[in-house]
C-alpha cells in the first residue's frame, strides 16, 4: 500500500500528522508551489520568498532522511497553478493507493480538499492538525452556549488545562494577567537589541530572483530580506529572543518607536505560522526562562498569553464561525482603502512609519497593527474586506485563520462584539503616549482645531457620533458618550463634516 502525502506550505513541521507512519520504501511526499497560492491576494514579496524558500529547504531535509519527495516549482512549465491540478498530475505519476493530508489552516483550502473526495477515485485521509494546544472540536465545546467569546476566559481555561504558569492549581504570581505592567512607553536613550537576521543562502537567493521577476507589482521590497528559512534558523531566532528580548518584552510590548520595527518583540510568528516552530516548544522555552530566573513573570505571562491565549483563540473563532463570519459588518463600514496604505505617503507620521516598516520588513508588531493602521481603518469606516485583504497581503505571518478574526473582530469590530467587548478606537493621545511618532509629525494631538489638528482626534469623535445607534449602549464607552451628549447638534455635525472632508480628500485604491 503506497500513500501520496501532501504537505502544504504552512505545514513545514517534521511531526506534521501527514508524515506519521510514512514508509520510505513506498510512500511519496508531494510539495507544490502554485500560482493560486501566491496571487489569491498580492502577498508581500518577502512572504512569498519566505514560504517558497522554506518549502524548498524542508523538501531537501526530508530527502536527506531518505524520503522520496516530489517537488513542483512555481516556474515548472508543466505546473497547472493549482493544488488540485498538481495533485492530479502527481497521482498519475505515482499511482498511490491513497492520499494523506493534514487539515489546512484556511477555509478556502479546506473547500478545495473536500472537492478531492469526488474528483479522485482514491481514499482521501484528512488528518487533524495537532500542532495547536486546542483542537477545533475542543474550542467548539468551550464556546457552546456563549453569546460572545472573550479571550481572557478562554485563556484561563487553557492555563488550567495545560498547567502552564500554574502553581498548585492557582496562577503563578496570584494573577492570571499582568497586562497592566506591560504598557510602558519607550524611555529616551534605551537601545533595543540587535535582531538576528540571516543572509540569504543560494536557495533563498534563487527564490528572491524568481519573486522579483514574477511579482514585480506586489507590495514590499526584497532588499532587507533577512528571515530564516530553515528549522535551524528558526530555532536560532527562538534562542535569540529568549536570551536578548524576553526579559524586557513585557515592559515595552505596547511601545512604538521611529526606526524600531522590532524592539523587544519575538518576531517568531512567521516561523510559527509556517510550521518551522511549534507553539508548544516556544511556550515551553519562555516558561523555562522564567523558572530559571532569566525573565520576569510579567514578560513571560504576556508572551504566553499571545500564543496560548490569542493565537489559539482566534483559530477557534475562525473555524467555528466561517464562512459566514467574514461577511458580517456590524458598523456598516464601506469606505475604500486609502492609497497611502500601499505607499506610506501620508503626513500622519505614525501611519507613515508603520507602513514603511511593513514595506521593508513584512512585519509590524501588534500595537502598530491594532492602534495605528487598524485604528485608522476603524475610525475611517474602511470596508472590512478591504482592510482584511491588506493585512493578508502585507505581513509575513498573515494567514487567513489568524489574520481574519484579529482584523474583523478586533480592528474593525465588524462582528458587533462577538470577540471584543468594545471597539479598539483611540485618538491621537494614545499614540502620543506610547510612541515618539507625534514629535516629528505635521499634525499635533494637542491641537484641537485648524490644519495642524491630529486627524485621529476628530476621526475618533466622528466615529462615535456616526455609530451611536450601535455603540452608545456599550458600558465601556459610557465616558466618551457622556462627553458627546454635552455637545449640541451643530457641534456634532461640524465634527462629522470635518472628518468626512478629510476622508473624502484621500486617494483610494492600489497606486
Q: Is 80 left (phi over 0), alpha (psi -120 to 50) or beta?
A: alpha
The alpha carbon of 146 is separated from its chain's Cα centroid by a whole number of angstroms, namely 25
CA atoms of 61 and 502, how far apart (whole Å): 54
pLDDT at res. 269: 98
Do residues 272 and 395 touch, judged by C-beta distance below 8 A? Answer: no
CA atoms of 197 and 455, how far apart (whole Å): 36
Same CATH topology for 136-199+218-321 and 340-504: the answer is no
Phi and psi at residue 99, in whole multiples of 5°? Answer: -120, 135
How would DSSP label each residue in 222-271? STT-----SHHHHHHHHHHIIIIIHHHHTTTTT-B-TT-SSTT----HHH
pLDDT at res. 381: 98
pLDDT at res. 436: 95
Q: Among residues of the chain, what percentage have pLDDT more than 90?
A: 97
CA atoms of 30 and 290, how far apart (whole Å): 41
Grid cell in block for residue 452 = 495642524
CA atoms of 258 and 45, how far apart (whole Å): 23
How many Cα atoms occupy the beta-carbon half-sphere of 476 within 13 Å? 8
CATH number of 3-127: 3.40.50.620
Do residues 393 and 257 touch, judged by C-beta distance below 8 A? Answer: no
Fold adopted by 136-199+218-321: 1.25.40
CA distances from 290 to 13, 72, 178, 251 (A): 26, 44, 14, 15
Total residue length of the chain: 511
Report the candidate in 313, 443, 311, 320 with the shortest Cα–Cα distance to residue 376: 443
Report the candidate in 350, 341, 372, 379 with the shortest Cα–Cα distance to residue 220: 341
Do residues 470 and 416 touch, judged by C-beta distance below 8 A? Answer: yes
pLDDT at res. 449: 87
Is-cis flag, bond preceding 323, omega within 30? yes
What residues of the chain score a pLDDT lower than 50? none
How many Cα atoms occupy the beta-carbon half-sphere of 171 within 13 Å? 17
pLDDT at res. 475: 94
Grid cell in block for residue 61 = 531535509
pLDDT at res. 31: 98
* Reported pTM: 0.96
Whether the CA torsion 260, 263, 265, 271 is positive or negative: it is: positive
pLDDT at res. 448: 85
Q: Where are the domains positioned within the chain? A: 3-127, 136-199+218-321, 340-504
Q: Among residues of the chain, what percentage have pLDDT more than 70?
A: 100
Instruction: Decide: residue 307, CB within 10 A, 0-12 exposed, 13-18 middle, 19+ buried.
Output: buried
pLDDT, tens digit (0-9, with 9 covering 90-100), for 147-187? 999 999 999 999 999 999 999 999 999 999 998 889 899 99
CA distances from 25 to 68, 253, 280, 333, 432 (A): 9, 49, 31, 56, 62
Task: Please give the CATH superfamily to which domain 340-504 belongs.
Answer: DNA Cyclobutane Dipyrimidine Photolyase, subunit A, domain 3 (1.10.579.10)
Amino acid at each position: 500500500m503506497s500513500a501520496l502525502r501532501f504537505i502544504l506550505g504552512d505545514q513545514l513541521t517534521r511531526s506534521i500528522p501527514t508524515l506519521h507512519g510514512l514508509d520510505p520504501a513506498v510512500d511519496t511526499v508531494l510539495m507544490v508551489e502554485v500560482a493560486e497560492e501566491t496571487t489569491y491576494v498580492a502577498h508581500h514579496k518577502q512572504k512569498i520568498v519566505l514560504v517558497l524558500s522554506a518549502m524548498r529547504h524542508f523538501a531537501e531535509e526530508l530527502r536527506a532522511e531518505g524520503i522520496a519527495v516530489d517537488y513542483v516549482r512555481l516556474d515548472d512549465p508543466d505546473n497547472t497553478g493549482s493544488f488540485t491540478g498538481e495533485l492530479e498530475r502527481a497521482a498519475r505519476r505515482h499511482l498511490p493507493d491513497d492520499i494523506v493530508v493534514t487539515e489546512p489552516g484556511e477555509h478556502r483550502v479546506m473547500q478545495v480538499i473536500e472537492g478531492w473526495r469526488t474528483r479522485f477515485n482514491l481514499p482521501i485521509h484528512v488528518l487533524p492538525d495537532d500542532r495547536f494546544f486546542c483542537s477545533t472540536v475542543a474550542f467548539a465545546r468551550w464556546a457552546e452556549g456563549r453569546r460572545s467569546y472573550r479571550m481572557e476566559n478562554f485563556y484561563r481555561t487553557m492555563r488550567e488545562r495545560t498547567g502552564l504558569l500554574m502553581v498548585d492549581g492557582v496562577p503563578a504570581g496570584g494573577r492570571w494577567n499582568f497586562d497592566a505592567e506591560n504598557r510602558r512607553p519607550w524611555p529616551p536613550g534605551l537601545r533595543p537589541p540587535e535582531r538576528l537576521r540571516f543572509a540569504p543562502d543560494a536557495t533563498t537567493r534563487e527564490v528572491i530572483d524568481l519573486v522579483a521577476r514574477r511579482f514585480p507589482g506586489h507590495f514590499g521590497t526584497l532588499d532587507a530580506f533577512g528571515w530564516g528559512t530553515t528549522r535551524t534558523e528558526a530555532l536560532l531566532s527562538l534562542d535569540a529572543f529568549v536570551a536578548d528580548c524576553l526579559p524586557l518584552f513585557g515592559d515595552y510590548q505596547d511601545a512604538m518607536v521611529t526606526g524600531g520595527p522590532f524592539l523587544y518583540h519575538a518576531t517568531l510568528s512567521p516561523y510559527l505560522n509556517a510550521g518551522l516552530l511549534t507553539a508548544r516548544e516556544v511556550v515551553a522555552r519562555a516558561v523555562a526562562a522564567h523558572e530559571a530566573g532569566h525573565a520576569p513573570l510579567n514578560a513571560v505571562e504576556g508572551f504566553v498569553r499571545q500564543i496560548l491565549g490569542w493565537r489559539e483563540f482566534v483559530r477557534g473563532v475562525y473555524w467555528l464561525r466561517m464562512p459566514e463570519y467574514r461577511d458580517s459588518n456590524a458598523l456598516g463600514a464601506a469606505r475604500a482603502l486609502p492609497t497611502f496604505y500601499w505607499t506610506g505617503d501620508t503626513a500622519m507620521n505614525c501611519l507613515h512609519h508603520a507602513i514603511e516598516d511593513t514595506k521593508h520588513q513584512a512585519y509590524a508588531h501588534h500595537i502598530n497593527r491594532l492602534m495605528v493602521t487598524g485604528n485608522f481603518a476603524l475610525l475611517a469606516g474602511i470596508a472590512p474586506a478591504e482592510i482584511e485583504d491588506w493585512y493578508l497581503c502585507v505581513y509575513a505571518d498573515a494567514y487567513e485563520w489568524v489574520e481574519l478574526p484579529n482584523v474583523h473582530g478586533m480592528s474593525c469590530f465588524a462582528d458587533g462584539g462577538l470577540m471584543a467587548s468594545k471597539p479598539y478606537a483611540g485618538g491621537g493621545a494614545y499614540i502620543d503616549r506610547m510612541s515618539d511618532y507625534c514629535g516629528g509629525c505635521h499634525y499635533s494631538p494637542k491641537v484641537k482645531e485648524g490644519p495642524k489638528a491630529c486627524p485621529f482626534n476628530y476621526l475618533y469623535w466622528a466615529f462615535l457620533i456616526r455609530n451611536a445607534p450601535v455603540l452608545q449602549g456599550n458600558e465601556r464607552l459610557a465616558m466618551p458618550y457622556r462627553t458627546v451628549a454635552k455637545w449640541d447638534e451643530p457641534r456634532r455635525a461640524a465634527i462629522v463634516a470635518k472628518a468626512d472632508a478629510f476622508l473624502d480628500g484621500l486617494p483610494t485604491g492600489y497606486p
